[in-house]
């Protein structure tokens, strides 16, 4: 009698019932209430034809000065599977009345079909870094089943795009939400519907539009409006607006978890010391347990950020051990603290890239980080801080003390708004307090690069480049990274 092979059914789970494609034509058409002219499957979603990769669904969005339909040919030449359009075209497509509204509709469908635990992140400082750290922690916890908004996709287009990209198989989703005006986060959190809503901190960013820090706190607290029933609000215990944030979260019926060094913090810092390889070794009390982990990113602000990450990971149901490993391996982000060895006379110097954004709080934190960086000399290239309104002169002039405390040897100031700081640094009494500080006030990035070249980078130097994104200091970072000794 011949042997018989018994075939066993593979155990199934709910996620096995989900398709492997991100979207197909039927699901897209249903979600956006459109009409598909062909059958297709899409593995990604894109709104910029330059970034399309094979298999993407391209949304031909309309803006104030451009129309995505002009770039359809380029998108399909790069391998787009189909497009969402508001007029018939000679490509596989889904026809809708309004492509912008269709993107939001697809985002809504993605959120409705998802069983993932969702974390929303906002704050005046650190939201992108915390979002990335959370993603790495939850991705490790779920063995690759986490999703997050990439780059700084945190506005009225970036958030729905990020949601539309979320796989039905994802177990965790992390979404960043930003704002310039009141009411913006309210609209975003209604789309994200987080189970966990985290505010990193409240500081005078965008104060020109909002008028006061209290108004900024209220705008950040809008994130709690979208919390799912039984959701968790994570707030900074050390911030002076903590009580205000707590009241807003309680009004939404949220569970409150605070983090920081304050004695009343639920996730409380017990100790932080320099780690042998850089960064910090942190010990924290989480109420029922103590945890000890390494944070690879340097600076006191990252110690606070790590507490927020630990609080959010626990609230989302992730693994704290995996979170500790992820924080210890956290890479520097381009424009947000990435450190690179660059060519300098006699050897190499350290370039600290903080060129993406700047406000008074992040400037102080980053200058303090520069001061803690071992270096033969310290150079700071500081771009103007935007959206400060009537507070612009005072907030810029107030950077003089953090610069002195960081023991900076040469400062390059970029932009008209830096005039108040240049005046402050040039006061005679500043030199009387210690060594005379060399500085240059430049109109633009080109002049700033010339000032750095004239000063000259030498072996062992550390150079910080930080400013609001619109100043364009990323071009200087690129130039410095490419230069040869």
The answer to whether the beta carbons of residues 175 and 148 sit under 8 Å apart is: yes
Alpha carbon of 197 to those of 235, 245, 249, 254: distances in Å? 9, 11, 9, 9
Q: How many CB atoms lie within 10 A of CB 54?
A: 10
The answer to whether the beta carbons of residues 464 and 366 sit under 8 Å apart is: yes
Q: Is residue 5 over pLDDT 50?
A: no
CATH class of 18-99: alpha beta
Range among 24-33, 143-152, 199-208, 326-335 rated most confident: 24-33
- Intervals of CATH 3.40.1390.10 along the chain: 18-99
Q: Give the residue-averaged pLDDT of 223-240.
A: 97
The pLDDT assigned to 244 comes to: 97
The pLDDT assigned to 484 comes to: 60
pLDDT digits (tens, 9 = 90+) for 105-126: 999 999 999 999 999 999 998 8
Q: Give the residue-averaged pLDDT of 185-193.
A: 97
The pLDDT assigned to 463 comes to: 96
**Nearest Cα to Cα of residue 59 among 111, 21, 113, 23:** 23
Alpha carbon of 166 to those of 35, 56, 74: distances in Å? 22, 13, 25
User: What pLDDT band is residue 34 in, cutting at 50, 70 and 90?
Assistant: very high
Q: Is residue 42 over pLDDT 80?
A: yes
- Token readout for 440 is 């240059």
Q: How many CB atoms lie within 10 A of CB 28?
A: 27
Sheet hosting strand 280-285, strand order edge to edge: 146-148, 172-176, 117-122, 196-199, 232-236, 255-260, 267-274, 280-285, 290-295
Give percent above pLDDT 90 in the chain. 81
**Nearest Cα to Cα of residue 424 among 415, 434, 437, 435:** 437
The pLDDT assigned to 404 comes to: 92
Q: Give the residue-averaged pLDDT of 172-192.
A: 95
Please, is 286 exposed, middle or buried when counting C-beta atoms within 10 Å of its C-beta (0-12, 13-18, 19+)? middle
* Residue 232 to residue 253: CA distance in whole angstroms: 9
Backbone angles phi, psi at 414, to 5 degrees: -125, 120
- Intervals of CATH 3.90.190.20 along the chain: 338-482
pLDDT digits (tens, 9 = 90+) for 249-302: 999 999 999 999 999 999 999 999 988 877 899 999 999 999 999 999 888 889
The pLDDT assigned to 6 comes to: 47
Gap between the terminal Cα atoms of the chain: 80
The answer to whether the beta carbons of residues 172 and 145 sit under 8 Å apart is: yes
* Residue 392 to residue 468: CA distance in whole angstroms: 13
Continuous H helices in 228-359: 242-251, 300-316, 320-328
The angle, 0 to 180 degrees and rounded to 10, between the axes of the packed helices 184-192 and 213-221 is 20
Please, is 6 exposed, middle or buried when counting C-beta atoms within 10 Å of its C-beta (0-12, 13-18, 19+)? exposed
Q: Which range, of 176-185, 207-216, 392-401, averages the lowest pLDDT?
A: 207-216
- Token readout for 451 is 């000032």
Q: Is residue 247 over pLDDT 90?
A: yes
The answer to whether the beta carbons of residues 421 and 396 sit under 8 Å apart is: yes
DSSP for residue 227: P
What's the CATH fold of domain 338-482?
3.90.190
pLDDT digits (tens, 9 = 90+) for 141-164: 999 999 999 887 899 999 999 999
- Intervals of CATH 3.40.1190.10 along the chain: 114-328
* Residue 230 to residue 128: CA distance in whole angstroms: 25
The pLDDT assigned to 8 comes to: 47
pLDDT digits (tens, 9 = 90+) for 47-106: 999 999 999 999 999 988 889 999 999 999 999 999 999 999 999 999 999 999 999 999
Q: Is residue 185 over pLDDT 70?
A: yes
Instruction: Let me know how many helices (H) and strands (E) the chain has, helices first.
Output: 18, 22
* Residue 211 to residue 204: CA distance in whole angstroms: 9
The answer to whether the beta carbons of residues 186 and 222 sit under 8 Å apart is: yes
Give pTM, 2 decimals. Answer: 0.84
Q: Give the residue-averaged pLDDT of 354-360.
A: 89
Q: How many CA atoms lie within 13 A of 86 on its CB side?
A: 14
> Which of helix, strand or coil describes residue 39?
coil
Q: How many CB atoms lie within 10 A of CB 183?
A: 10
> Which of helix, strand or coil describes residue 193?
coil
The pLDDT assigned to 210 comes to: 81
Please, is 8 exposed, middle or buried when counting C-beta atoms within 10 Å of its C-beta (0-12, 13-18, 19+)? exposed
* Pairing verdict, β 378-383 and 347-354: unpaired
Q: Is residue 474 over pLDDT 70?
A: yes
CATH of region 114-328, choose from 3.30.420.60, 1.10.287.180, 3.40.1190.10, 3.30.2030.30: 3.40.1190.10
User: What pLDDT band is residue 208 in, cutting at 50, 70 and 90?
Assistant: confident
* Residue 383 to residue 446: CA distance in whole angstroms: 12
The angle, 0 to 180 degrees and rounded to 10, between the axes of the packed helices 213-221 and 242-251 is 30
For the chain, what is the mean pLDDT? 92
* Residue 61 to residue 332: CA distance in whole angstroms: 32
Q: Give the residue-averaged pLDDT of 15-25.
A: 73
């Amino acid at each position: 009698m011949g042997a018989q092979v018994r075939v066993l059914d593979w155990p199934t789970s709910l996620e096995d019932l989900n398709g492997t494609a991100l979207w197909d034509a039927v699901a897209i058409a249903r979600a956006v209430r459109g009409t598909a002219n062909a059958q297709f499957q899409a593995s990604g979603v894109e709104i910029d034809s330059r970034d399309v990769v094979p298999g993407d669904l391209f949304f031909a969005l309309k803006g104030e000065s451009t129309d995505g339909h002009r770039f359809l040919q380029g998108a399909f030449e790069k391998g787009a599977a189909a497009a969402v359009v508001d007029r018939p075209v000679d490509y596989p497509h889904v026809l809708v009345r309004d492509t912008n509204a269709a993107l939001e509709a697809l985002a809504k469908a993605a959120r409705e079909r998802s069983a993932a635990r969702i974390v929303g992140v906002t704050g005046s400082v650190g939201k992108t870094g915390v979002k990335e750290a959370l993603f790495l922690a939850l991705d490790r916890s779920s063995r690759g089943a986490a999703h997050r908004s990439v780059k700084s996709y945190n506005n009225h287009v970036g958030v729905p795009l990020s949601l539309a990209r979320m796989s039905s198989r994802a177990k965790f989703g992390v979404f960043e939400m930003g704002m310039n005006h009141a009411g913006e986060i309210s609209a975003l959190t209604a789309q994200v519907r987080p189970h966990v809503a985290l505010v990193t901190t409240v500081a005078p960013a965008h104060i020109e539009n909002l008028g006061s820090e209290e108004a900024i706190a209220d705008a950040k607290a809008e994130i709690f409006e979208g919390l799912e029933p039984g959701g968790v609000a994570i707030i900074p215990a050390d911030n002076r607006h903590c009580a205000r944030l707590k009241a807003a979260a309680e009004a939404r019926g949220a569970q409150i978890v605070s983090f920081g060094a304050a004695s009343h913090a639920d996730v409380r810092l017990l100790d932080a010391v320099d780690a042998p390889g850089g960064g910090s070794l942190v010990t924290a009390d989480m109420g029922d347990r103590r945890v000890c982990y390494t944070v690879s990113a340097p600076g006191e602000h990252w110690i606070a950020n790590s507490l927020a990450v630990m609080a959010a990971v626990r609230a989302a149901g992730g693994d704290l051990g995996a979170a500790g490993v992820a924080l210890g391996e956290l890479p520097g982000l381009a424009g947000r603290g990435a450190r690179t060895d660059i060519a300098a006379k006699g050897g190499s110097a350290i370039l600290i890239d903080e060129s993406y954004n700047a406000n008074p709080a992040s400037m102080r934190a980053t200058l303090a980080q520069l001061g803690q960086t071992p270096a033969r000399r310290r150079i700071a290239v500081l771009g103007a801080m935007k959206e400060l309104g009537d507070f612009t002169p005072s907030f810029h002039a107030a950077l003089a003390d953090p610069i002195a405390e960081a023991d900076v040897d040469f400062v390059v100031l970029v932009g008209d708004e830096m005039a108040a700081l240049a005046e402050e640094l040039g006061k005679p009494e500043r030199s009387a307090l210690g060594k005379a500080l060399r500085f240059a006030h430049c109109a633009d990035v080109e002049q700033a690069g010339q000032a750095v070249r004239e000063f000259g980078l030498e072996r062992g130097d550390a150079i910080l480049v930080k400013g609001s994104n619109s100043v364009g200091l990323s071009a200087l970072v690129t130039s410095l990274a490419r230069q040869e000794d």
